[in-house]
Chain A
Amino acid sequence: METEAQRLKAAFHYTAARLCEEVAEDKGICFSRQAIAAVSEITFRQCEIFARDLEMFAKHGKRSTVNVEDVKLLARRSNSLLKHITQKSDELSLNNLEQKEKKKKKSAAKKGRRNSNEHEEPVAIVNEDSNMA
Chain B
Amino acid sequence: VRREKREPSLPSNLVKKMFIHYVKMPVAKDALEAVERCVNLYFKHLSNDLEAYVNHARRKTAELADLELLMRRQGLITDKMPLNVLVERHLPMEYRKLLIPVARSGNKVIPQKPR
Contacts and interface: CB of A to CB of B under 8 A. Distances in A.
Q: Tell whether A and B belong to one assembly.
A: yes
The A interface is mostly helix, strand or loop, or mixed, namely helix
A133 B69 contact: no
Interface string A58-100: 0011100000011001001000000000000000000000000
B58 interface: yes
B57 A60 contact: yes
A13 B14 CA distance: 50
A70 B53 CA distance: 10
16 contacts: A53-B73, A56-B73, A57-B69, A60-B53, A60-B57, A60-B65, A60-B66, A60-B69, A61-B56, A61-B58, A62-B57, A70-B56, A73-B53, A73-B56, A76-B52, A133-B55
| Across the A-B interface, the 8 shortest Cβ-Cβ residue pairs | A60-B69, A60-B57, A73-B56, A61-B57, A61-B56, A76-B52, A56-B69, A56-B72
Nearest to A133: B58
Contacts of B66: 60
Nearest to A62: B57
Contacts of A57: 56, 69
A69 B56 contact: yes
B52 A73 contact: yes
Given A56-B69, A60-B53, A73-B52, 19 more contacts: A56-B72, A56-B73, A57-B56, A57-B69, A60-B56, A60-B57, A60-B65, A60-B66, A60-B69, A61-B56, A61-B57, A61-B58, A62-B57, A70-B56, A73-B53, A73-B56, A76-B52, A133-B55, A133-B58
